[in-house]
Chain A
Amino acid sequence: MKNILIKRLLQLLMMVWSVGSITFVLSRMLPGDMAYRIAAGRYGDDAVSAAAANAVRQELGLNDPVWLQYLHWLGELLQCNLGTSLVSGNPITAELQHQLGYTLLLAAAAMFLSAVIAIPLGLICGFRANSWLDRGGLLLSTLLRSQPVFCLGLLLILLFALKLSWFPVAGFNALAHLFLPALTLGLSLAALSNRVIRNSTLRVSRSDYYLFAKIKGLSDWQTFKRHGIRNIALPVVAFMGIQLVGLIEGVIMVESLFAWPGIGHALSHAVFSRDIPMLQGTALTCGVLFVSINTLVDGCCYLLDPRSNRTC
């Protein structure tokens, strides 16, 4: 466990430097004039002009040599300062707290709903493999997974918001607003994870040690509790960890559809308007999050199966 943490800490430091530097270089390689892009992001399409762009260029020192700008960024980073947005002028930490905070809330809710749906379904399908329920589950999972998440969201809005009036269509200032975007993502995730759980359950339930536990006289529940849960959970935890990472960076369509604030939308705007501190701050924070999630997943896997220490 200690080895895992030390390894991950070193990875984290390398990641912070490399992600920040790569973002810095890539954002400067993008076509177009930075000052004009920033001016458009700040003042809007109707007010972007040569005069506005020149004012931005002067204010932000965009004519300074690139290496000087890089060193300036690195110096700030060493002081744990992510800077301020070139577009809004707000501190990056405040922007991230707002935007990433909502994304994390949505991702956590989606993972919870996904687990609530996928775990029982996957277990039942696994224990009753090839039954009509299993085949139905496969069909439903395929249907849900083949839907773009945007379409799934629209269907849920039509059903739960417009037809049944159970939940609001969109927004973010009440708990009720969280349900539909979380369910959209949760269903999409569960469509895949329930099959992983099903396969893992099938593998475990047909294993020799599982059969032996039953033969030696344990009840179904005792067998499941002592020999099933941990063995089934191992690949599932790893898979859901990957899903969570994918969620954080990939929820932009759901955020847009449900008018939910989030990092996906903020990141796309930062790219369009060349808001480099915002890009770097977001990339860094996402990187830190990914490493942390991976570490957490590895830790969970270790606790579930301490034998994995030998491979660490």
Chain B
Amino acid sequence: MVTYGCTQPPAADRLTISGPFEPISLDLAKAGYIFSRLQIVETLVDIDNQGQLQAGLATAWDSNPDASVWRFHLRTDVSFHNGSPLDANAVVTSLRIALNKPAPFDQQIIANVKAVDAHTVEFQLHSSYRPFAAILTNYTTAILAPASFGSNDRIVSLIGTGPYQLTEFDPPHMVSVSRFDGYYGAKAYIPYVDYITGHRSESRALMVQGGSADIVYNLDPASVQLLQQTANVKVNTTPIPRTILIKLNLADPLLDSVKVRQALSLALDRQGIAEGIMHQPGVEANQLFGPAMGIWHVNSLPPPRLNLDRARALMAEAGWQPDSTGILQKQGKRFTLSMVTYANRPELIVIATAIQAQWARLGVALDVQMENASAIPLGHVEGSLQTALMARNFANIPDPLTVLLADFSSPAGGDWGPMHWQDPAFFAQLKQTTQATGAAYQQDVQQLSRHLAQSLPMIPVLYYVQQSAVADRVHGFSFDPYERSFRITDMVLQP
């Protein structure tokens, strides 16, 4: 075994990637994110680094004036991995099945999908929806060949259109792909790619250090520090459109006042959390959408600073005074809150306990509960949630307008959005923005972001950065901030 194992150099024609993602099934609703990243499947619409939509399997798209009917014009030179051509019927079959499964957008907006001609697909919506094209960037809407589906529309083999085709699937630990020579676009350089699930960040760091993997994703701060001192590895840091936020139940009498929410925000030492926990100075969030979100990020907002005196003053203005134990109280009621967070992102529980200590200095007693992520939407629906610390992904659908329309357009809010937020002025402005275009749209968008930063229906804490490590033999690496692709086709292996 020693002889067998001794220093096998990495294969010159095979790239090995490791991340924490566990592909459990061929179903795109469950594991499409990994098949999209491995460039096996493609969507009708693509995104660039700035979140701007660009051609995917559709070269162009247009809508009627009220944006309730959309037509997508397909590429004419695309073949699936089994050699069958991509046409409108195949797209309609694939999307009809996809739209019957859960997805991170509201499928109910779509009334019908049909083929207009061999290369044009038409979507009829129930009402006007301007950011519709952005929805078709989501991995759940990737297009599969009709031969992919078995009985009950179950995906029995993954036949996509991407530059790589699936060769081996060993759920939830391994996916192997090989270059698809019939790809319509630029051919990939690397013939074979393996994705291996690496459960622990420490293991992934050691894998890239020891040559067992060429690229590893989602590294923890301690591993990054180790890898920065490793000779044959480079660390890549890219801001991504994900923000750590505190979700608040604004129907709770403790949290319905803007002054109280501002005080809670001012009592956060974001700098301490960014430097002490995340080892990432500069990621402190002063608004919902981070710098990776283009026009939705307001550059002119002041940086978030801890200001305990101002926070105490705001609490006093709201009628809260410390009792003999230092906890704020008003009319005999103490300011005690509970905060739900979840374990899948290990930093969240550490940040939650830091917030517990920071809010204690303001006189707020916080009880932190570690749960499954599903406790947040469940608590929202049941109305039992008081606060929650969560990492909201704004990259699922790259246009934040879709997020605002889904979660911020009514007092009901969204599962991962605000809760019982009553702000008719914002709702009206949001409605107006859906009709705006060009410069007016940009202006409206900035106003919406500014409004959210001031009225704080959710308290932003930190922006996320993605930390990856890449072996020296990999050239052409870049990180897709929207996490849709590993961009393997741009990479070359050189000894």
Interface residue ranges, A against B (CB under 8 Å)? 32-33, 36-37, 39-40, 42-53, 55-56, 87-90, 98, 154, 157, 161-162, 165-176, 178-179, 255-259, 261, 265, 269, 272-273
Assign chain B's interface to a size class: 35 or more
Q: Inside 8 A of B202's CB, which chain A residues have their CB?
A: 154, 257
Inter-chain contact A47/B212, CB cutoff 8 Å:
no
Contact status of A172 and B173, CB under 8 A, knowing A88-B24, A89-B27, A157-B210: yes
The answer for the CA separation of A268 and B328 in the assembled complex, in Å, is 41
Inter-chain contact A88/B30, CB cutoff 8 Å:
yes
Told that A55-B102, A88-B171 touch, could you supply 7 new A-B pairs with CB distance under 8 A? A98-B171, A157-B206, A168-B211, A175-B1, A179-B5, A259-B199, A259-B207
Number of interchain pairs (Cβ within 8 Å): 164
> 7 tightest CB-CB pairs across the interface, nearest first?
A176-B5, A36-B374, A52-B102, A45-B373, A169-B210, A40-B374, A88-B24
Q: Inside 8 A of A258's CB, which chain B residues have their CB?
A: 203
Q: List the B residue with the shortest CB-CB distance to A172.
A: B173
B337 sits at the interface (CB 8 A): no
For window 416-446 of chain B, which residues contact chain A by CB distance below 8 Å?
416
Inter-chain contact B172/A88, CB cutoff 8 Å:
yes
The answer for the CA separation of A169 and B211 in the assembled complex, in Å, is 8
The answer for the CA separation of A154 and B375 in the assembled complex, in Å, is 34
Contact with A46, one of B104, B154, B194 (Cβ below 8 angstroms): B104
Q: Inside 8 A of B101's CB, which chain A residues have their CB?
A: 55
B377 sits at the interface (CB 8 A): yes
Interface residue ranges, B against A (CB under 8 Å)? 1-2, 4-8, 18, 22, 24-25, 27, 29-30, 33, 101-104, 106, 154, 170-174, 194, 196-200, 202-203, 206-207, 209-212, 342, 344-345, 371-375, 377-378, 380-381, 391, 393, 396, 415-416
Contact with A40, one of B106, B207, B373, B391 (Cβ below 8 angstroms): B373
Q: Inside 8 A of B378's CB, which chain A residues have their CB?
A: 32-33, 36, 50, 53
The smallest beta-carbon distance between A79 and chain B, in angstroms, is 21
Contact with B200, one of A88, A175, A256 (Cβ below 8 angstroms): A256
Inter-chain contact B374/A48, CB cutoff 8 Å:
yes
The smallest beta-carbon distance between B280 and chain A, in angstroms, is 21
The smallest beta-carbon distance between B397 and chain A, in angstroms, is 11
Q: Inside 8 A of B6's CB, which chain A residues have their CB?
A: 165-166
B25, B27, B203 — which one has the most chain A CB atoms within 10 A of its CB? B203
Q: Inside 8 A of A56's CB, which chain B residues have their CB?
A: 102
Q: List the B residue with the shortest CB-CB distance to A42.
A: B30
Inter-chain contact A45/B102, CB cutoff 8 Å:
no
Q: Inside 8 A of A51's CB, which chain B residues have their CB?
A: 102, 106
Inter-chain contact A32/B30, CB cutoff 8 Å:
no
Inter-chain contact A43/B29, CB cutoff 8 Å:
yes
Q: Inside 8 A of B198's CB, which chain A residues have their CB?
A: 170, 259
Q: Inside 8 A of B393's CB, which chain A residues have their CB?
A: 46
Q: List the B residue with the shortest CB-CB distance to A52.
A: B102
Inter-chain contact A53/B374, CB cutoff 8 Å:
yes
Q: List 9 A-B contacts (CB under 8 A).
A: A36-B374, A36-B375, A49-B104, A161-B206, A161-B210, A168-B211, A171-B207, A255-B199, A257-B200
The smallest beta-carbon distance between A115 and chain B, in angstroms, is 16
Contact with B102, one of A43, A173, A178 (Cβ below 8 angstroms): A43
The answer for the CA separation of A89 and B31 in the assembled complex, in Å, is 12
Q: Inside 8 A of A33's CB, which chain B residues have their CB?
A: 374, 378
Q: Inside 8 A of B377's CB, which chain A residues have their CB?
A: 36, 48-50, 53
Inter-chain contact B102/A32, CB cutoff 8 Å:
no
Inter-chain contact B171/A90, CB cutoff 8 Å:
yes
The answer for the CA separation of A168 and B1 in the assembled complex, in Å, is 12
The answer for the CA separation of A145 and B180 in the assembled complex, in Å, is 51
The answer for the CA separation of A257 and B212 in the assembled complex, in Å, is 13
The answer for the CA separation of A45 and B106 in the assembled complex, in Å, is 17
The smallest beta-carbon distance between B137 and chain A, in angstroms, is 14
The answer for the CA separation of A178 and B198 in the assembled complex, in Å, is 15
Inter-chain contact B373/A168, CB cutoff 8 Å:
no
Contact with A170, one of B22, B27, B102, B207 (Cβ below 8 angstroms): B207
The answer for the CA separation of A36 and B4 in the assembled complex, in Å, is 46
Inter-chain contact B206/A162, CB cutoff 8 Å:
yes
Inter-chain contact A257/B24, CB cutoff 8 Å:
no
The answer for the CA separation of A39 and B377 in the assembled complex, in Å, is 11
Inter-chain contact A39/B374, CB cutoff 8 Å:
yes
The answer for the CA separation of A42 and B391 in the assembled complex, in Å, is 18
The smallest beta-carbon distance between A267 and chain B, in angstroms, is 13
Q: Inside 8 A of A165's CB, which chain B residues have their CB?
A: 6-7, 210-211
Inter-chain contact B381/A256, CB cutoff 8 Å:
no
Q: List the B residue with the shortest CB-CB distance to A255.
A: B199
Q: Inside 8 A of A169's CB, which chain B residues have their CB?
A: 203, 206-207, 209-212
The answer for the CA separation of A176 and B154 in the assembled complex, in Å, is 36
The answer for the CA separation of A5 and B316 in the assembled complex, in Å, is 77
The answer for the CA separation of A241 and B313 in the assembled complex, in Å, is 67
Q: List the A residue with the shortest CB-CB distance to B25.
A: A88
The answer for the CA separation of A216 and B50 in the assembled complex, in Å, is 90
The answer for the CA separation of A265 and B199 in the assembled complex, in Å, is 9
The answer for the CA separation of A112 and B8 in the assembled complex, in Å, is 25
Q: List the A residue with the shortest CB-CB distance to B208.
A: A169
The smallest beta-carbon distance between A101 and chain B, in angstroms, is 11
Q: List the A residue with the shortest CB-CB distance to B100.
A: A55
Q: Inside 8 A of A87's CB, which chain B residues have their CB?
A: 24, 30
The answer for the CA separation of A44 and B381 in the assembled complex, in Å, is 18
Inter-chain contact B374/A176, CB cutoff 8 Å:
no
The answer for the CA separation of A55 and B7 in the assembled complex, in Å, is 50
A50, A165, A171, A261 — which one has the most chain B CB atoms within 10 A of its CB? A171
The answer for the CA separation of A162 and B229 in the assembled complex, in Å, is 14
Inter-chain contact A98/B170, CB cutoff 8 Å:
yes
Contact status of A162 and B200, CB under 8 A, knowing A36-B378, A43-B30, A88-B24: no
Contact with B342, one of A42, A45, A53, A90 (Cβ below 8 angstroms): A45
Inter-chain contact A167/B5, CB cutoff 8 Å:
yes
